[in-house]
């Protein structure tokens, strides 16, 4: 199985790749509450189209650290998804041939219905 690295999926799964933009004009980050509301509304709309009512969905979030011990230090995500468990840790420095700077991605997941 290939490592589930977001920016590599476009090439690895070219026939299934899709990107959804959360803000108008492909803006990447919200600057205020009104833009955060846009993001939430668009995500809810997409989930309503993709999932059946009461269907279980898997939520995957990411944490980063300099150690292989899995962490997710985003307090907002921890509050939103307190039951997340580590699914996989990837040694980014090995995948990117950067042995001088140990860096790990921690993929955490939880089931939502």
pLDDT digit string, tens, across residues 23-78 = 999 898 899 999 999 998 998 898 888 888 888 888 888 888 888 988 887 788 88
More confident residue, 84 or 5: 84
Question: Over 90: is that where the pLDDT of 17 sits?
Answer: no
pLDDT classification of 110: cutoffs 50, 70, 90: very high
Q: Residue 103 has which token pair?
A: 């860096």
CA neighbours closer than 13 Å in the CB half-sphere of residue 75: 0
- H helix and E strand count, the chain: 4, 3
Position 11 scores a pLDDT of: 83
Element (H, E) at 38: helix 33-50
Q: Long-range contacts: 44-52, Cβ < 8 Å, 24+?
A: 46/20
Residue 25 DSSP symbol: G
Q: Where are the domains of the chain?
A: 22-51, 54-113
Mean of pLDDT over the chain: 85
């Amino acid at each position: 199985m290939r490592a589930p690295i977001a920016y590599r999926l476009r090439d690895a799964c070219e026939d299934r790749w899709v990107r959804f933009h959360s803000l108008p004009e492909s803006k990447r980050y919200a600057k205020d509450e009104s833009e955060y509301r846009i993001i939430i509304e668009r995500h809810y709309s997409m989930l309503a189209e993709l999932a059946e009512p009461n269907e279980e969905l898997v939520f995957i979030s990411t944490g980063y650290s300099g150690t292989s011990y899995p962490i997710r230090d985003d307090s907002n995500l921890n509050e939103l998804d307190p039951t997340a468990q580590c699914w996989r840790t990837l040694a980014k420095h090995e995948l990117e041939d950067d042995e001088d700077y140990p860096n790990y991605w921690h993929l955490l997941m939880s089931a939502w219905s």
